[in-house]
Amino acid sequence: MRSPLPPTAAVLAFIDRINQTDLEGLLALMTDDHYLKVMDEAPLRGKEAQRPAWDGYFTAYPDYVIYPSRIAASGATVAVLGTTTGSHLGLPDEAEMKLTVIWRAEVRDGLLASWEVLEDTPGAREALGLA
């Protein structure tokens, strides 16, 4: 039996599944109690609650791609600084690529227990080791 992925590898695999719009692969990388929090939106709890949310996003934005530019890990917490294209923002790719965001994940036994999208601020970068 294969050992669980280390936290950074698990997060990179998660991003890859998002970039491939691979719903089943994405769900396979989540814990049953997975927690999703996007900026100021209400959180979504539980793996099965993620299915319709991600399916809807993949359907509405099939060209959505995450571009990591910096990664910092501290134990089970992994933070990623990056940009996106093809998102709900509806911007041309060139404009969207100028907007940075932070993703923070908690990894448990090689699976993502949480995935949070945070505003990119100097304080958030500093707190997460991305400065």
Task: Report which of 121, 122, 94, 108 is spatially closest to residue 7, judged by C-alpha positions.
Answer: 108
Confidence band for 110, pLDDT divided at 50, 70 and 90: very high
pLDDT at 97 over 80: yes
Rounded to the nearest integer, the mean pLDDT of the chain is 97
The answer to whether 129 touches 80, Cβ cutoff 8 Å, is no
Burial class (CB in 10 A: 0-12, 13-18, 19+), 88: exposed
pLDDT at 1 over 80: no
pLDDT at 78 over 80: yes
Q: What would the mean pLDDT of 81-107 be, rounded to a whole number? A: 97
Cα separation, 21 vs 86, in Å, equals: 12
- How does pLDDT run across 17-73, given as a tens digit for each residue? 999 999 999 999 999 999 999 999 999 999 999 999 999 999 999 999 999 999 999
pLDDT score of 100: 98
Residues in the chain: 131
